[in-house]
Amino acid sequence: MTTDDGSPPRIVVRLDGVRKEYGEARALDGMSVEIRAGDAVAVMGPSGCGKSTLLNLVAGLDRPTSGTVEVNGQDLGELNETGLALFRRQHIGMIFQFFNLIDDLPALDNVALAAQLTGTPARQARLRALELLDELGVADRRNSYPATLSGGERQRVSVARALMNRPALLLADEPTGALDSRSGEQVMDLLIDLNQIGQTLLIVTHDPHLATRCASRLVEMADGRAVRTSALEPTV
């Protein structure tokens, strides 16, 4: 993919020689990867190879032991905790296997909160939240609490929440892992649609079907590093 002037799209994520140790355990051991604007990258690999650690570092939820993590041109190592939290809210959207919605807030408030935390006035945040719930086909569930929503509906609400601040990067950790196959397919369709309108995606998954349906590039990991990168053919 190239931009209008023929130059390659800007780099949204760059990891260079990243190591992450938890005591004796080495979760990442020289992980390097580059993701450009508009890419849809799937990361696969055996359990324990460092996939979730990778996402947590890119999200700025954790810091590497050594090596650099850059997101949207910002070296995350230069930010203090407050700066990191703000950066995450402004530039990164995340969706999780188990949704991570707030149980005692209705769907609309779960979504609106993401923008209110970055300083958007409540009224404006609620308008945009409603717009997104509508686009994702769950506006009729706006006043429902997460416990009363189906898995598929919960994941749509989480996607709306993730998109609230128009993130440069959408991270997904096993986004269909807790869904029945029909809802899983619908979430995959949603991710594909988002990527087609330019959303950069980084998806961690065990599921080869999710990877081949949603991603244009596959990064295979083993023992804390990338061992192979390949282009994926779009499936119909």
Ligand X SMILES: Nc1ncnc2c1ncn2[C@@H]1O[C@H](COP(=O)(O)OP(=O)(O)O)[C@@H](O)[C@H]1O
- Can you give the binding site for Mg ion, defined by CB under 5 A? 51-52
Q: Is 22 in the site for ligand X (CB under 6 A)?
A: yes
Partner from ligand X, Mg ion, none binding residue 27, C-beta < 5-8 Å depending on class:
ligand X
* Total residues at interface with ligand X (CB under 6 A): 11
User: Of 220, 222, 228, nearest to 48 (Cα)?
Assistant: 222
Q: Is 49 in the site for ligand X (CB under 6 A)?
A: yes
Binding ligand X by CB under 6 A: which of 2, 7, 47, 82?
Answer: 47
Q: Is 98 in the site for ligand X (CB under 6 A)?
A: no
Q: Which is nearer to ligand X, 142 or 225 (CB)?
A: 225
Question: Which residues share a beta bridge with 209?
Answer: none
Q: Is 52 in the site for ligand X (CB under 6 A)?
A: yes
Q: Which is nearer to Mg ion, 39 or 173 (CB)?
A: 173
Contact 15, 226 (CB under 8 A): no
Minimum gap (Å) between residue 158 Cβ and Mg ion? 17
Nearest-CB residue to Mg ion? Answer: 52
Partner from Mg ion, ligand X, none binding residue 25, C-beta < 5-8 Å depending on class:
ligand X
Minimum gap (Å) between residue 56 Cβ and ligand X? 8
Residues at the contact surface with ligand X, assessed by CB under 6 A: 22, 25, 27, 45, 47-53
